[in-house]
Amino acid sequence: MFPCLAIRPRHVFCRVSLCPKAPLSQRSPRFPQLCCGKERSYLASVYAPYYSAISGRIRAVLKKRDYGAKYTQNNFITAVRAMNEFCLKPSDLEQLRRIRRRSPHDDTEAFTVFLRSDVEAKAIDVWGSQEALTRERNLRKEMEKEYQESRPFNCFYMVCFSKPRSGKRTTFLQGPGKVVMVAICINGLNFFFKLLAWVYTGSASMFSEAIHSLADTCNQGLLALGISQSVRNPDPGHPYGFSNMRYIASLISGVGIFMMGAGLSWYHGIMGLLHPQPMESLLWAYCILAGSLVSEGATLLVAVNEIKKSARQHGISFYEYVMQSRDPSTNVVLLEDAAAVLGVIMAAGCMGLTSLTGNPYYDSLGSLGVGTLLGTVSAFLIYTNTEALLGRSIQAERVQKLTEFLENDPAVRAIHDVKATDLGLSKVRFKAEVDFDGRVVTRSYLEKQDIDQILTEIQQVKTPEELENFMLKHGENIIDTLGAEVDRLEKGLKQRNPELRHVDLEIL
């Protein structure tokens, strides 16, 4: 009767019945398709309250949270913060519920926190009322304000005479500190003998050399202060430490060389050209210059050896180490002593021409030459230390190495907005936006769980409330696992790159 249907395969003829159907829990409710409009409206009125009750129940359980409103019931705070903000004593916290959380510091794996709501309730119980607690807070704030206002009067003493709190006092007599102390002793002696030679001979070049040694001595004393303060531990007012004190001291040193060294040398040279004065015997001046050449050369050799050693440790050349001002204190000593050696040679040459010709103008030109040399050194120091204080990035090769380490991790999809800046003292701050692979993070969590137990929990889920509790429990644990993954990556970066001191990986 229907030959066109007889030749069709059975699975084609019955394809409607073979289509897979969704589980009952996932099917959308449907009303019977009746022809009569009155019957349709009647059944709709009967079923509507039933379906609206179920949908309302689900919406009540899975109600969206208003993230714009203030909510602090799930906040954790540390014991120190609880005592400072809520005016409590350690004994007040003994009866509160303690919660162990991952530590934000590398030296400890976990630490104890308290629920903020519990601390607030305890504070009101201790002080009697919210008003009494507020009065105590205000009183302590006033005391803290008075203390902060009195600090400026003690700042000079704290900076100049306070001991480094890091306990690294031996650092001052090693590396850059040793170079600076040797330079202070030698330049101080050179200044004394050059000053005697200038008083005896009246040579403008010798005066410039004496001023040069005085400027070097003062500036290196400033460098010693910068080194001693740079090893102090970070504090709440300076969370990234005091390592920039070396750059600040070197910057001020450069300005001092320009003002006191170059300025006075130029002034004395110009006055010698305008009002030439006859000079006495220069024999003693030559002897003192020869001794100064030997002593300055010895200090220069100490600085060169220290820079070569540090450059090898950083894997860069001597020239790159100096130009990038990796160690500003040693850099200043190197350049000052190099200028001192050249200045001694220049002054001796000009004084020799004056002795041979009897013309004092050569001596004045030597003073101008020494001043120009000091001005060049000061300009270089000001430029390099200013660049360092502005937050200079590390080399592109090192940034690429850090980025590749993160990208090679299975939990990382991509790395964006990478920033790596030099903090001084061979310390680097690294920051990056990390796009994590959610499947890998979830698998990392599941590897530590009993899968059979999770399957049993899933099978026991019958109501929306049970489903919500199940998702909240494992969702919170997965978020903790994500935080642990961030800690693992940060720890790996620091272990492979000891110069990293502050690593900030932001979840994208």
- Give the tens place of pLDDT for each residue, 200-218: 877 777 787 788 788 778 8
DSSP 331-345: HHHHHHHHHHHHHHH
Instruction: Tell whether 43 is covered by a domain.
Output: no
Between strands 500-507 and 427-436, the pairing is parallel
The answer to whether residues 372 and 488 belong to one domain is: no
The answer to whether residues 313 and 400 belong to one domain is: no
Report the share of the chain in percent with pLDDT over 90: 17
Query: Quick one: which of 300, 287, 298 has its CA closest to 335?
Result: 300
Q: Are 458 and 441 spatial neighbours (Cβ–Cβ below 8 Å)?
A: no
318-367 tens-digit pLDDT: 888 888 777 787 887 888 788 878 888 888 888 888 888 878 888 888 88
Give the C-alpha distances (Å, rounded to integers) separating 212 from 253, 262, 266, 351, 367: 13, 8, 12, 17, 10
The answer to whether residues 188 and 332 belong to one domain is: yes
* Mean pLDDT in residue range 7-27: 41
pTM assigned to the model = 0.66
| Residues shown for the chain | 508
Q: Are 492 and 500 spatial neighbours (Cβ–Cβ below 8 Å)?
A: no
- Three-state DSSP at 236 gives coil
Domain stop point among 389, 409, 435: 389
Report the share of the chain in percent with pLDDT over 70: 80
Range(s) of the domain holding residue 223: 170-389
What distance in Å separates the CA atoms of residue 370 and residue 266, rounded to the nearest whole number? Answer: 8
The answer to whether residues 144 and 242 belong to one domain is: no
The answer to whether residues 265 and 350 belong to one domain is: yes
Instruction: Tell whether 68 is covered by a domain.
Output: no
Number of domains in the chain: 3
Instruction: Tell whether 16 is covered by a domain.
Output: no
Instruction: Tell whether 69 is covered by a domain.
Output: no
The answer to whether residues 95 and 187 belong to one domain is: no
- Find the CATH number of the domain harbouring 487: 3.30.70.1350
272-294 tens-digit pLDDT: 888 887 766 667 778 888 888 88
Q: State the pLDDT at residue 69.
A: 63
The answer to whether residues 329 and 197 belong to one domain is: yes
* Choice among 146-160, 208-222, 248-262, 365-379 with the minimum mean pLDDT: 146-160
Q: State the pLDDT at residue 167.
A: 45
What distance in Å separates the CA atoms of residue 128 and residue 356, rounded to the nearest whole number? Answer: 95
- Find the CATH number of the domain harbouring 119: 3.90.530.10
Q: What burial class does residue 178 get, using C-beta atoms within 10 Å of its C-beta: 0-12 exposed, 13-18 middle, 19+ buried?
A: middle
Between strands 110-115 and 412-424, the pairing is unpaired
Instruction: Tell whether 312 is covered by a domain.
Output: yes
Q: Which residues, 6 or more positions from 455, have their beta carbon under 8 angstroms from its beta carbon?
A: none
